[in-house]
C-alpha cells in the first residue's frame, strides 16, 4: 500500500466553518519518501482577527513557538503566515492530486495521526482529492492507543510542535517504528523487509522514536 501522509493545521475543528492554515504532505511509495507540499495557505487579512472564524484554543496554540523544533519551523504558525504570502488552497489540492494521479484509482491511502480530522477538511475543501484516495485511513494515533492499552508502549508526554511538516515526520517515524517492532516480534528478525523507518531524504528526522517498555 502507498500512503499520502498529511497534516493540516487549521483555525478550528469544524471543517465547514474553519480554515486550513498550513498543509504538509509526503508521498510514501513502498517506504520511499517524496515531499509533495509544505506551505502555509494564503488568506485575506481578516484571518488575523481571532473573532473571524477561529476556535479560541486554536488561536492561542498557533501563537506559541516551539523551541524544540527551532531548526524546523519552530516559529508560531501565525508569525509565518504574517511573513509569508503562502499559496492558495486550490494549488495545494492540484499538487496533491498530481502526486496521487499516477497510481491506480483508490490505491493511495491517507495516513497520519488522527487522520480522520484531516480527511474531514479534505472532504469539504478538496473534494477532487477526496475522490481519488482510498476510503480507508492509516491512523497512527489509533495504533498508539491500542499499544498503550496493551501495556507495551509508554505514552509520549512530550510537547507537540503543531506545525504541519514536523507532525508528518513524527507520524511516519512512529508508524515505521511500530512496524519494525511488530515484524521483529512475529518474524524474529529486525531485518525483515520494510521493517525499518525509511531514509528521510528531504530533511533530517527531528523526533525520537516511541519508547517501548522492556520485557519483564
Secondary structure (3-state) at 39: strand
Catalytic residue, chosen from 3, 69, 135, 176, is 135
For residue 160, being part of any structural domain is answered with yes
Give the pLDDT confidence score for residue 63 in this predicted structure. 80
The reply to whether 135 belongs to the active site is yes
Residues spanned by the domain of 30: 2-187
For residue 202, being part of any structural domain is answered with no
Residues of the chain with pLDDT below 50 are 69-72, 192-210, 212-216
Give the pLDDT confidence score for residue 215 in this predicted structure. 43
Strand blocks (E) in 81-164? 108-112, 137-139
Report the distance separating Cα 103 and Cα 139, nearest Å: 21
For residue 6, being part of any structural domain is answered with yes
For residue 198, being part of any structural domain is answered with no
Give the pLDDT confidence score for residue 127 in this predicted structure. 97
Give the pLDDT confidence score for residue 159 in this predicted structure. 66
Based on the structure, what is the number of domains in the chain?
1
For residue 51, being part of any structural domain is answered with yes
To the nearest whole percent, how much of the chain has pLDDT over 70?
79
Give the pLDDT confidence score for residue 205 in this predicted structure. 33
Distances 71 to 1, 22, 50, 62, 138 between C-alpha atoms, Å: 32, 18, 28, 17, 28
How many DSSP H helices and E strands does the chain contain?
7, 5
For residue 13, being part of any structural domain is answered with yes
Q: Return the CATH number at 22.
A: 3.30.420.10
Give the pLDDT confidence score for residue 83 in this predicted structure. 83
Nearest to 200 by CA among 5, 1, 69, 7: 5
Report the distance separating Cα 174 and Cα 196, nearest Å: 11
Give the pLDDT confidence score for residue 20 in this predicted structure. 95
Report the distance separating Cα 3 and Cα 137, nearest Å: 9
- What is the rounded average pLDDT for all residues in the chain? 81
Report the distance separating Cα 187 and Cα 151, nearest Å: 21
For residue 78, being part of any structural domain is answered with yes
Give the pLDDT confidence score for residue 91 in this predicted structure. 94
For residue 205, being part of any structural domain is answered with no
Amino acid at each position: 500500500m502507498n500512503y499520502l501522509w498529511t497534516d493540516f493545521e487549521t483555525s478550528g475543528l469544524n471543517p465547514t466553518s474553519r480554515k486550513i492554515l498550513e498543509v504538509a504532505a509526503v508521498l510514501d511509495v513502498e517506504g520511499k519518501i517524496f515531499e509533495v507540499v509544505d506551505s502555509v495557505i494564503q488568506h485575506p487579512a481578516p484571518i488575523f482577527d481571532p473573532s473571524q472564524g477561529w476556535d479560541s484554543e486554536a488561536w492561542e496554540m498557533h501563537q506559541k513557538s516551539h523551541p524544540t523544533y527551532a531548526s524546523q519551523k519552530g516559529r508560531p504558525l501565525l508569525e509565518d503566515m504574517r511573513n509569508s504570502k503562502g499559496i492558495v488552497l486550490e494549488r495545494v489540492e492540484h499538487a496533491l492530486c498530481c502526486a496521487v494521479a499516477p497510481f491506480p484509482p483508490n490505491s493511495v491511502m491517507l495516513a497520519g495521526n488522527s487522520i480522520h480530522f484531516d480527511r474531514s477538511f479534505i472532504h469539504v475543501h478538496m473534494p477532487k482529492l477526496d475522490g481519488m484516495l482510498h476510503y480507508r485511513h492509516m491512523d497512527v494515533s489509533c495504533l498508539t492507543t491500542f499499544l498503550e492499552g496493551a501495556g507495551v508502549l509508554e505514552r509520549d508526554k512530550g510537547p507537540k510542535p503543531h506545525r504541519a511538516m514536523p507532525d508528518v515526520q513524527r507520524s511516519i517515524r512512529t508508524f515505521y517504528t511500530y512496524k519494525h517492532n511488530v515484524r521483529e516480534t512475529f518474524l524474529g528478525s529486525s531485518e525483515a523487509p520494510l521493517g525499518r523507518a525509511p531514509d528521510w531524504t528531504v530533511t533530517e528526522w527531528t523526533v525520537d522514536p516511541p519508547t517501548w517498555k522492556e520485557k519483564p
